[in-house]
Amino acid sequence: MLNTSEINSLIKLLDDPDAEVFEHVHDKLLSLGGSAIEPLETAFTEAFDPLLQERIANLVHEIQFGQLKNDLKLWIHSGAFDLLQGALIINRYQYPDLDEQKVINQIEAIKRDIWLQMMNEGSPVEQVKLINHVFYNIYGFSGNTTNHQDPQNSYISQVLETKKGNQISLAIIYSIIAQKLDIPVYGVNLPQHFILAYLDEGMQSEFESGILFYINAFNKGFIFGRRDVDMFLKQLKLMPDKQFYEPCSNTEIIKRVIRNLISAYEQLGSTDKVDELNELLEIVE
């Protein structure tokens, strides 16, 4: 393992005009992974040469993106059980330095405020109305209708900050909070719209008829039934398919988040980001 002064000596060679020297130094620093990030960031703040700054910034991004890909692979191979962890990994793409504990604390705070008001068990509809009251009225979450294509709508840290998100990000936060309260609310991968289903716990092993009702997290937690899903599919000229009615896996949810980001960055013309997000999509698929 190289020590800090050896790493710093390598960093100084990053602006070498000789392409071969640069290539060698770049690869050596890249192979050091996370341990090179802090010295690189320090060197970036001390550098005056725009070329050196650009090369350092690119290298830091490369290292962080490599770590992100590994984290995503690990999440999937370990069963993708924790949806919040999956959302945080994707969040790291745009916000690699974010204090993730802050996001966890924000979600815990909302959960606690709902829990404090849940005096008795209450019916499923009453439970959802209580979640809706705290989530939308007290905390002020809402669907971002004015700037729906903004990539920020897909990053969980930003949605928790701005209280605005797209269908899937709001549904992710909503279902994570519900599940933390032992309320069986899960995501349903409906085309062009992502919704939530409230499961009848007694029939949880067999989703088919075990869904009590659906919830639209984008529309202030609006409750609706299976016939509304039928109507929606009819409008889209789609055949009713089991997957449009039943909870999907966490992997499917994260796949959809990545697809939303790809589409958002395509609109912005950010081809580099689109290419990288396609790499992430391949990992999930």
Residues 132 and 226 in one domain: yes
Cβ count within 10 A of residue 131: 24
Nearest to 93 by CA among 135, 20, 167, 152: 152
Residue type present at position 253: I
* Higher-confidence position of 45 and 2: 45
* Residue 246 CB-half CA count within 13 A: 13
Structure tokens at 23: 């290539």
At which of 48, 77, 106 does a domain end?
A: 77
Nearest to 33 by CA among 11, 62, 75, 69: 62
Chain center to CA of 49: 35
Place of tokens 């009590």: 212
- According to DSSP, the β-strands at 142-143 and 164-165 are parallel
At which of 77, 96, 113 does a domain end?
A: 77
Q: What is the pLDDT of residues 181-190, one digit of tens each?
A: 999 999 999 8
Residues 277 and 158 in one domain: yes
Q: What is the pLDDT of residues 135-152, one digit of tens each?
A: 999 999 999 988 888 999
At which of 23, 42, 77 does a domain end?
A: 77
Q: What is the pLDDT of residues 64-93, one digit of tens each?
A: 999 999 999 999 999 999 999 999 999 999
Residues 103 and 150 in one domain: yes
The whole domain housing 209 covers 83-284
Q: Is the pTM of this model over 0.85?
A: yes
